[in-house]
Amino acid sequence: MLVAPSVLSADFGNLDRDVKAICEAGCDLVHVDVMDGHFVPNLTIGPVVVSAIAKAASKPLDIHLMVENNTFFVDLFAPFKPRYISFHIEEEKNPHRLVQYIRSLGIRPAIVLNPHTPAEAVEYLLPSVDMVLVMSVNPGFGGQSFIPEVVEKIKRLKVLRDRINPECLIQIDGGVNDVNIEMLDGAGVDICVAGSYVFKHAEGLKKAIDSLKV
């Protein structure tokens, strides 16, 4: 299991310190949640702050767009050379075109599915993407409870993934912790995002990250 802590739960007054700390604690990716106040009822960070995160991070960035106008935001964040940019299929009229565009910028494209969106929605995009992110909370906020119905979806997605593009990673985001991680691993998750669990862990970042590497 790869681990991508979400900096949404970091201390933004000490962002440089916290980003360095999760990288030193052994995370695999730094998950960056971009929200525009339109696609989701929350507003987070833009290129000024992502630039600071990119400078502090010694691990690759994983940028999760929760926005309208995806292409505008892809262009804003591409200069920071993230490993992945993921966008929501619910908000994109031409997802295949955007996948090709992200790849043309030298970035690995990923598609996000909201909790209600079926696994089959991504079937014809699977040959073209490097990762599918399954939301296990409604996007917009850290610290929400895991929605158990998505486990069945991950199992269905894994069947599709194994048949169509075995290289494509399955990522989960929302309410992940040391209690549900083994079950998620069994269902087919390759990489987990965790925000509040990692940053609020009583025994520190390294213990938290290690506990998710099942």
Neighbours of 186 (CB within 10 A): 12
33 has catalytic annotation: yes
Q: Tell me which of Zn ion, ligand DX5, none is bound by residue 161, counting a contact when its beta carbon lies within the kind-specific cut-off of 5 to 8 angstroms.
A: none
Tokens linked to 1: 């299991």
173 has catalytic annotation: yes
Pick 15 or 164: Cβ nearer ligand DX5: 15
Under rule CB under 5 A, how many of the chain's residues touch Zn ion?
A: 3
Active-site annotation holder among 18, 33, 36, 62: 33
Q: Is 36 in the site for Zn ion (CB under 5 A)?
A: no
Q: How far is the CB of 137 from ligand DX5 (least distance, A)?
A: 5
| Phi/psi-derived region of residue 69, left when phi > 0, alpha when psi is between -120 and 50, beta in every other case | left
Helices (H), the chain: 15-24, 47-56, 70-77, 95-104, 150-164, 181-187, 196-199, 205-212
- List binders of Zn ion among 63-82 (CB under 5 A): 64
Q: How far is the CB of 33 from Zn ion (least distance, A)?
A: 4
Q: Which amino acid is at 97?
A: R
As a dihedral over the C-alpha atoms of residue 191, residue 102, residue 140, residue 202, rounded to 10 degrees, the angle is 30
Nearest-CB residue for ligand DX5: 195
Judged by CB under 5 A, the residue of 7, 21, 29, 33 near Zn ion is 33
125-157 b/e with 16+ CB inside 10 Å = b?
A: bbebbbbbbbbbbebbbbeeebbeebbebbeeb
Distance of alpha carbon 161 from alpha carbon 157, whole angstroms: 6
Helices (H), 29-136: 47-56, 70-77, 95-104
Q: Which amino acid is at 4?
A: A
Q: How far is the CB of 190 from ligand DX5 (least distance, A)?
A: 16
Residues that bind ligand DX5 (CB under 6 A): 6, 8-9, 31, 33, 64, 137, 139-140, 142-144, 173-176, 193-197
Distance from CA of residue 53 to its chain's centroid?
A: 15
Pick 103 or 201: Cβ nearer ligand DX5: 201
Active-site annotation holder among 28, 36, 130, 173: 173
Only one of the segments 31-39, 84-92, 99-107, 181-189 lies at the binding site for Zn ion (rule: CB under 5 A); that segment is 31-39
Only one of the segments 51-59, 68-76, 95-103, 170-178 lies at the binding site for Zn ion (rule: CB under 5 A); that segment is 170-178
Catalytic residue positions, numbered: 33, 173
Q: Give the residues lining the site for Zn ion (CB under 5 A).
A: 33, 64, 173
